[in-house]
Amino acid sequence: MDSVVPTTPDQDPRRTERVHPDHADLDLLDAAALVQVLVLDQQDALNAVQAAAPALARAVEAALGRLNAGGRLVYAGAGTSGRLGVLDATELTPTFSWPPERAVPLIAGGERAIRQAVEGAEDDEEAGALDAQAVQIGPLDVLIAVAASGTTPYALGAVRAAKEAGALAIALANNPGTPLLHAADCPILLDTGPEVISGSTRLKAGTAQKIALNTLSSALMVRLGKVYGNLMVDVKSTNAKLEDRAVRLVRHATGADEATAKAVLDSAGGSVKTALVMLRLDVTAAEAEARLAAAGGHARTALEEGTVGVDS
């Protein structure tokens, strides 16, 4: 059987839209070979994020001042990119007790688009601008616009409105030299190249976006004092699993036995961070909270163990 190959050269300047030159017989592979191809191609996603590490670090530093001053993280995207933004925004509250009103996801087509495609929504640049304006984006806010193509009108509209309002605009795109990257204050290129299934950017382009968003938001939360060492001390205990995790974190950080950890957590209102300061310094919950407030929420600073952001 002949291979299926393009009859004309692929001229699309967006590499994510090109036909992958190595997989013209993808539909002829058995399950084992097909899975191997799809899995190995994901390595390009990690490589792309590693290459973007300096740009990600610059975005973290640029965003910190605004977030420390009370600003919000506002995500904007369409389709897979928009859904990944919704996911990242949603996970910040249970993981880091980040206030939900300070993680605002915007997706082309509205909430319905989270579960189903809303045809044509991504092509409306004005809708992106209006959605950003509707949440009253302002100078303290940080917009994270995500679009594999780097040309999505909805994301471009959100960036335009954000910059007009004085917000910081960060952009993630999987194609170099695209309008979204040119428009952003902090452009982050995730150059993943053609997909195994041509144009299906839910594959490695989406994987690279997920890694980059995880990295960006997690780094911000660490620098904002949501972590002690590598312990998730601002975890929000909303179920039995997380309550057990909170006890384990307090025990690990302080050496307390289980009964003591549970008792102190209870008196700390479930706050791991408050409990560990109470146990480490032998102070009351009120004193621990006061120390944390004076330290800007950084447990290590409250414990006088080092300077945040500097290797010890």
Give the residue numbers marked as catalytic.
91, 122
Q: Which residues contact 220 (CB under 8 A, 6 or more apart)?
A: 60, 63, 64, 67, 73
Identify the three-state secondary structure at position 74.
Answer: strand
- Both tokens of 96, joined, read 């880091």
Q: How far apart are CA 110 and CA 119, in angstroms?
A: 12
119, 111 contact by CB (below 8 A) = no
